[in-house]
Amino acid sequence: MKKQVPLTITFIVGVVLILSVFFPPVETWGEDFSLFFDIIAVFAFFLGGGNLIRVHTERIAKKKKDWGFSIITILGFLIMLAAGLFKLWNPGDISADVAATGSLFQLLYDWMFNPLGATMYSLLAFYVASASYRAFRAKNRDATILLIAAFIILLGRTPLGMYATGWIPESFSVLQIPNLAIWVMTSPNLAGQRAIMIGIALGVVAMSLRLILGVERTYLGMDID
């Protein structure tokens, strides 16, 4: 029962949603499911939030390494919760928009959340440079091809590309870097993208069928051997 019921649920729900595409009266069941999922996720959030508080409270209680920062995390979490759920400093009342201008929720978002997220995102500039350095050492043929393609596209998006290859005669204009970059994006790049996408779709089909038919059960914690 404990094993069979979940597998049966997976099978029935999976088959119903596959077939619902072909029958207009039930074709929106997929969208209805995403509504259910949003509601399930909110309930699950209590588990996640509870875990967050428990982990950090334990760190504080046992005075583990960096336990002081756990106090900051819990404080930040509780303050943001209070600001949003009770709409503190909100110019309207409890029915107003949670992110109304001047509300504590909006201020915390503008002063802390936004700058922190934007700065983490901007670290990508440094990391892409270091990844490029490592990738462009071109240790094998595949890496060399990746390097050359990336170089062509990179140069093609800057004036340097035209400057470097502008001397190439018009009859061979496709070899000018900007034109070559466009050709690479619209031809081999498109071919590779298509092959990857078709492969992914077939992988999803096979994996979905394994899940629906109950052949794959590790997500339920079963048959791990």
Residue from 61, 96, 160, 213 binding other proteins (CB under 8 A) = 213
Alpha-carbon separation of residue 164 from 121, 146, 159, 175 (angstroms): 32, 21, 9, 11
Residues from 42 through 81 that contact other proteins (CB under 8 A): 42-49, 51-52, 55, 66, 69-70, 72-81
167 counts as binding other proteins under rule CB under 8 A: no
For the bound state, the minimum distance from the C-beta of residue 103 to other proteins, rounded and expressed in Å, comes to: 11
Q: Is the dihedral of CA 48, 53, 56, 61 positive or negative?
A: negative
Encoded one letter per residue, x for contact with other proteins by CB under 8 A and - for no contact, window 78-107 reads xxxx-xxx------------x------x-x
Residue partners of 132: CB distance under 8 A and separation at least 6: 150
Nearest to other proteins of 166, 194 (CB atom): 194
Amino acid residing at 19: L
For the bound state, the minimum distance from the C-beta of residue 178 to other proteins, rounded and expressed in Å, comes to: 13
For the bound state, the minimum distance from the C-beta of residue 167 to other proteins, rounded and expressed in Å, comes to: 19
DSSP string for residues in 177-206: HHHHHHHHHHTHHHHHHHHHHHHHHHHHHH
C-beta contacts of 90-94 below 8 A and 24+ residues apart: none
Residue from 92, 101, 157, 163 binding other proteins (CB under 8 A) = 157
For the bound state, the minimum distance from the C-beta of residue 160 to other proteins, rounded and expressed in Å, comes to: 12
The encoded tokens of residue 81 equal 């919760």
Residue from 61, 89, 91, 145 binding other proteins (CB under 8 A) = 145
Q: Which residue has the tokens 């309207």?
A: 92
Burial class (CB in 10 A: 0-12, 13-18, 19+), 87: buried
164 counts as binding other proteins under rule CB under 8 A: no
138 counts as binding other proteins under rule CB under 8 A: no
Size of the site for other proteins (CB under 8 A): 145
Residue from 118, 139, 167, 169 binding other proteins (CB under 8 A) = 118
36 counts as binding other proteins under rule CB under 8 A: yes
